[in-house]
Structure 1
Amino acid sequence: MKLKFNLSNLSIRAKLLAGFGAVLAPLSILAAITYFTLAGVQDVLETTQPKTAYLADVRHQMWSLRFDIANYVGFDTEGRQKIKGSSAEKYEALEAALKKFTDAPGLTAEERELAKKIGEGFTNYQQVRPRWFELIDAGKMDEAVEYRAANTNKWGAYVVENTAALLDATKKNDAGRRDQQLGTVSFAHRSLTSVAVVALVMGIAAAFLVLRAIIGPVARLRDTVAKVSEGDYTARAQLQSTDELGTLGGAFDKMLEERVGALAKKEAESEALNTSIIDLMRAVAKLGKGDLTVKIPVREDITGALADAISSMADTTAKTLARVNNVSEEVRQASQLGRDIVHQTAQGMDGIRGTIQETGKRIKRLGERSQEITGIVKLIDDIAERTSVLALNANMQAAMAGEAGRGFRVVADEVQRLAERSKQATDQIGKLVSGIQAETNETTVTMERAIGEVVKGGELAEKATSQVSLIDKLGEGLLGAVRAFKLPAELLQQTAQPAAAEARKVA
């Protein structure tokens, strides 16, 4: 089975560990070489430097002992006692220095042999030396001279000569070790240089690979975000790595797909809602012109209930008007029958006529004011309609643009201006309503004067009671027909309120 290594399949943590490992591995080798090289140097220093010092101490103590013999003859008793007293200390110092030398690591066979000879010679020297002191103290100078030549000088020279030979051998052996260690140090230096170069190259390569594996996907994600911010909703990161950045890129691409799909669905819904609203506006315009045969298509969106209510109102209005027409015909016939009786009351009602005419004029003015109100209400409806459409457009612009909603500000400004017009229209309605109220008060006063005139014509009105009764019945029928006409309008209002609320939510 063939394994294929791919850096992009590793996590960011693993990539960083791999990069550090690539650098730390040669550095560890470098540290190991340095450690063992320094340990070797230290070992050479520990085995070479103290030995010459030990031998120098041995030679110094031996010469000191020999000088004491030469000086002993010229000293007095007190001086001779000091020389004898210091002999033991010098013996111990020489033996201690010789023991340190023999205990030192790395001694050759030659060095051990010479050290053994020094020890044997020094032992003999210690044994013969006290006898010489005794001969000098006894005044036997000639015998002491002979004894010194045959014994103390012999073993003292033996120790000194072997010490010098051992010192030369030690220096020679130590020089060889140092030369060997210098060669090792030189090799270690070359090795350290090579390993350092390899570590540097591997570190640069590892850093390049790791940075490329991290910075590349990050740059791609950054470019994708920039394209989406500029309005390119087809931009995708499409990262192929399986690390954390690859997971992030996949989640980002999935979020873009879901977002674009949601925007497309929202746009389709908004377009359908616009179409439904335009159809409703056209149907209402036809109804306003008196075309009661209009039929509004009923859709499944929030305008369906409103369209159904308007169509039902148009049908009911048509039927109601037909009934009103029939009732009007019956009223006309009944009026003809009561014309003669009404003629007799006409003279009595002349006084009432003037008052009624004045009332009619005022009511007419009130009606004209009402027409003005109707025009203003229509203006408010137009503004509300445009505001709704602009609100829908603003919502679509904001949804498509995300945070960079530049187009939304333009739409928002237009909505603000329309709102100001609505406020102006509302103020005009308030003023007109106040005028209507004033006119109504005046009409009430006039009607009170008309009541006095009506009393005068009451006697004549009694003769028309029977005919008026018939007219009342017909009027009740007409009132019922008008009430029936009012119900669909109320139904339309009740249905339009939730539909308008849903439209505001969509906007």
Structure 2
Amino acid sequence: MAIKTQGLKIRTKLLAMVLLLILVALSVGAATFYLLNMKMDEHKPQLVPALETTYSIDSLIAKARLFEKEFLFYSSLGKKKEYKEKQISYHQQMLATYNNIGGLLKDFSAGGSNQFSTMEKRNQLSNNIRLSFNGMMNGLRGLSKELLDGKSALQVDAQYAVYQKGLNELTSSVAEMRRHINQALDAQQEASAAFEKNIQNILIGVAVGILVLAVIAGIFVSRRISSQLNILMGGLENIKQGNLKEIPVTSKDEFAEIAKTFNQSLDSVKSFVRSDEERQASEENVINFLEVVSEASEGDLTLRAPVTEDAFGTIADSYNLMIESLAALLTDTTINAEEVGEESRHLLEIFQNMKDGADNQLQHVSSAIDAAEETAGSAKQIAQKTSLAQQAATSVEEATNLGNERVNRNIEGMQLIRVTVQVINKKMKSLSERLLEIGTISQLISDVATRTTILAMNASIEASRAGEQGRGFLVISDEIKRLADEASEATRQIGGIIKAIQSEANEVTLALEEETTTVEEQTKIAQDTGEALAAINQATTESKQVVTEITNLSQEQQRISDDMVATIHKMSEITASTSAMITTSSQISEGLNGVSESLLQSLGQFRLSADEEEMAYDAVAEIETVAEPQEKEIPADVMDQIFADPEEEEESISPEVPA
């Protein structure tokens, strides 16, 4: 019983060593994949939400600028009820959009404490964004108050400049925040790549160390058992040759107990072998014993030494106990070797499943690369389209400026025509006044002619009274009468002409007044047209600015798509490296399995009894039965968690880039 109890030492050490190697291999593999997955996903949940927040802010700013354009447009149309309602509606929508931006800024300032390298830099960027937003909102309040009070867009240039300045500062601050986030992402990706490389080197070193440790342990156990057996076999060979030299005790395990018992038996043999009969009997027992030992030296442990009643029976009994203990030890060693082989095959299957998962992940990563490249191509097309839109906006702006210039020239021409018509109207009125004066003079001349005719008639009467003496005066009076009649006729003609001129002058004056009214109306229409073209020019400028911002966003989206493609390429390289490490680990497991098979082949040289072989087979079958559920559970519970679908991960972290 003492030998059996002591024999547990080597079996326990072998089992502990095998379990330790298996535990170390599984722990290293699990820890490595856990660290790999944690490091690969480390930068995703921390910085991606902050990056999405910056793009959401840009999208809301672009949306608010559209409402701002409509608000300014309806503010310039007038004070009609429908225009006023549209103005108030777009103003409320613009304020609601900017309030949403304020909510995003609060969330952005509240979270993400690990987004930047220092707290001071993060606080500085957050304060810049908040100050820019507050300045923009203050300018917007002043602008909105003036426009809602009835002023047009052309009358609030100062308030609009303050609002535009705050908006530009907010946009630049958000862009600076996004640049810092992208720099942090790049730094984390570089750190992840360096960490992956270090983990790869450590994993290869640990795997090589485990393999070397397993080989050394196998060689150590094999040499330890072989050296102890060689010592025992040397002692038995000495007994076969008649040399009763004791076996040296060099260890403290069960072989030492066997050697001590064997030496004690030799001491008993030395003290009791005295007579020839005892020597002959002893020689026969020794011969029989040596035959059994000879068979045992060839590996047959099924034979047992015959136990006699003399002193040599103690040796035979001790030998039988030694053989039984050695058979039990070999059985345990066989079971442990089978366990090592089974665990190695089990580990090899795990690495194979992991390799299949890595290959599957590599395929998904390749699909993600194709999708990302298609996205990058679409982003390039969007950038080209936005560039064409920007060129069209520039052409519209130039045409609007040209139309505005020509309308201004038309307004100046209308003003000149209106002034000229007014001058002509004044001249015509002055001409009418002069014609009235001429009519007055003509009437005076007509009155003088009438009086002259009367005087000529009186002179003619007086000449008739004078007789012959007044005949010459009668001729003169007739001539004076004739001249008076001609003067009267001339004055009548002049009066008709003056009336005709006055009538035409009045008609011309009325026509000029109508033309003046028409010119003033056309001038008012031209001025309204100029104001409308100015509003169109302002809206075109804003549209051009919005198109420019969209172009910048498209370029930024294209850059992010290129960075995404590069990141996915890095993930592909990491996955390929992981697959290579798994292949290396699989080769190590195959080497461990080969060591186990070699050990089993070495142990196969020994032949055990039927009961012991049956016990070993039962133990091996029990090991296979215990190992089968584990092989079924690993692909379903562990491998699916380790090799998750990369497309789902990619959807969870993709930033929402505004269109």
TM-score bucket of the superposed structures, by smaller chain: 0.3 to 0.5
Tell me which structure has the larger Cα radius of gyration. 1
Bigger RCO of structures 1 and 2 (CA < 8 A, at least 6 apart): 2
